[in-house]
Structure 1
């Protein structure tokens, strides 16, 4: 039996809050857990490797809760899920292998420009064209690219959700389906990295992120079902542009920790 009184809640509180906020956005919009949690952990003063390890460890576990919550809210298109998940797993495994042997930083600016363009398009399109479901194209290659980029630095949610919305998919179904598939892709990537990360990645930071993430996942799925499609598209577009801007800033400057005690 866990003695709740012995848990250092005061030390965990900042990480629980970060996990809650990151997973709330990720569950509601289908992206951004990694960039939000990793950025805020760096601002708290965690070393980059520790922040990345904690984020990847928790993302695999929290995404399962998020996917289940979206399934309960009927936000998942299961045929599309089946078309996404296997290519995503294959792409993730290849991404881990490439990351081990090949320097991939040259591709990052290209991906960031792509995300900003998709984000701007979604913001422009949301008030002009109603969303109506139609069969999505190039789903397999999209899942493969999303899984590959997820392994080599993060990108499953922004790439896959943004592209499905740009193709015209119903926003809540796009977000829910991508969240459900993310669990399998992320766990595959995490398993491939486990020899390097080991159990040492499950630190106090990861524990707090996990508690906050699991608490937020059902709320995010609930919000997805109730936010209007146009507003959801605009919010996704704003987040995509924010991710792109943060990516370019991180390429130019080192993060400055707010707290130095870690």
Structure 2
């Protein structure tokens, strides 16, 4: 790829600054709400002329780094206790295996899909994210669902589908994983941290499969995207520390719906 094609043939240094800033913003949202990095960043970069096969593996690398870092930072800030919280341990163990399987299948499939296949993948992912966003908003305002325990079957299904989305398109993981956990009985802050940790393992698996299949990273994207995302983790963890859980859950619902609509807009445009 000619690096000049992105952002309408602007100079390289301006492209690097743009990539750094947009990555930092998207990761701040992601580490604050458990979603939004790949789902937002991928369509934005595609709109500016990037090639999906070049940016998806870099996004996987970026979220591999920030996933583990965010989990540690949320623990350090006191948002959760990774060592004593049984819900986190249970959900993490249940979600890790299907996440690995789902991303392996999707990464192999993604290398075989033509442009038309990737285009319709946006429709599939968008519909699912919109549906879970509507459910979360409905349950918050009207149904007031309270789960007394975590639903393990829901988590198994959730981990497989969310990681499949990740490997297929680079996005669609966080909205389904975080929103789905809330629907399965996991608390808000716990869901955000579990998503970050599972996303780290999911992205690691996706990258391994990608390299085994002969893929390589475009270094032009690696440095600004990884640096921007890593620098946003600490401010995001501090934000979560001061947000009440009621507001957090409502925000997650609306953010999920918005990201789903953004994905569908990308399909239509």
* TM-score, normalisation: structure 1: 0.81
Match of 1:98 in 2: 109
The separation in 2 between residues aligned to 1:219 and 1:132, in whole angstroms, is: 31
Match of 1:71 in 2: 75
1:121 counterpart = 2:138? no
The separation in 2 between residues aligned to 1:107 and 1:38, in whole angstroms, is: 13
Residue pair 2:121, 2:168 contacting (<8 A) in 1 also: no
The separation in 2 between residues aligned to 1:45 and 1:111, in whole angstroms, is: 21
The separation in 2 between residues aligned to 1:175 and 1:86, in whole angstroms, is: 18
The separation in 2 between residues aligned to 1:162 and 1:29, in whole angstroms, is: 10
Instruction: String of CA shifts for 1:197-226, please: whole Å, max 9, x gaps.
Output: 314x222x3211111111111222232233
RMSD over aligned Cα atoms: 2.6
The separation in 2 between residues aligned to 1:107 and 1:207, in whole angstroms, is: 28
The separation in 1 between residues aligned to 2:93 and 2:238, in whole angstroms, is: 23
1:164-179 mapped onto 2 (5 Å cutoff): 164-179=181-196
The separation in 2 between residues aligned to 1:166 and 1:178, in whole angstroms, is: 14
1:136 counterpart = 2:147? no
**2:167 corresponds to which of 121, 146, 151:** 151
What's the CA shift for 1:159? 1.3
Aligned residue pairs: how many?
244
Match of 2:210 in 1: 193
The separation in 2 between residues aligned to 1:190 and 1:133, in whole angstroms, is: 37
* TM-score, normalisation: structure 2: 0.79
Match of 2:36 in 1: 32
Structure 1 residues 109 and 151: CA distance shift in structure 2, 3 A: same
Q: Gaps spanning 5+ residues in structure 2: where?
A: 1-11, 83-87
**Secondary structure at 1:169 match in 2:** coil
What's the CA shift for 1:133? 5.8
**1:15 corresponds to which of 13, 19, 25:** 19
The separation in 1 between residues aligned to 2:102 and 2:207, in whole angstroms, is: 13
What's the CA shift for 1:98? 3.2
Instruction: String of CA shifts for 1:226-258, please: whole Å, max 9, x gaps.
Output: 3222221222122222222122221122xxxxx
Residue pair 2:39, 2:172 contacting (<8 A) in 1 also: no
